[in-house]
Amino acid sequence: MKERSGLLALDIDGTLTRPDGTVSERTIRVVRKLQQEGMCLCIASGRPPFGIRPMAALLGMDEFGGYIIGYNGGSLVDYSTGTVLYTSVLPDEAVPVVAECGRRPGHTMLTYLNDEICTEDASNPYVWISHMRNGMPIREVDNFLALPRPLPKCILTGAPDSMPALQREVAARLYGVADAYLSEAYFLEVVNRGTDKADALMRLLEHLGIGHELLVAVGDGHNDIGMIRLASLGIAMGNAHPDVRRMADMVAPTAAEDGLAQVLETL
Entry field: residues in the chain: 267
Give the mean pLDDT per block of 10 residues along the chain (267 residues).
79 95 96 96 95 96 97 96 96 98 98 96 97 95 97 97 97 97 92 95 96 95 94 97 95 97 92
Burial of 207 (0-12, 13-18, 19+ CB in 10 A): middle
Q: Which residues contact 190 (CB under 8 A, 6 or more apart)?
A: 90, 94, 98, 153, 154, 155, 156, 170, 174, 178, 179, 180
pTM of the model: 0.88
CATH code of the region 6-87+195-265: 3.40.50.1000
pLDDT value of residue 267: 77
pLDDT value of residue 184: 87
Fold entry, domain 92-192: 3.30.1240
pLDDT value of residue 3: 61
Crossing angle for the helix pair 163-173 and 95-102, nearest 10 degrees?
Answer: 150
Annotated domain spans of the chain: 6-87+195-265, 92-192
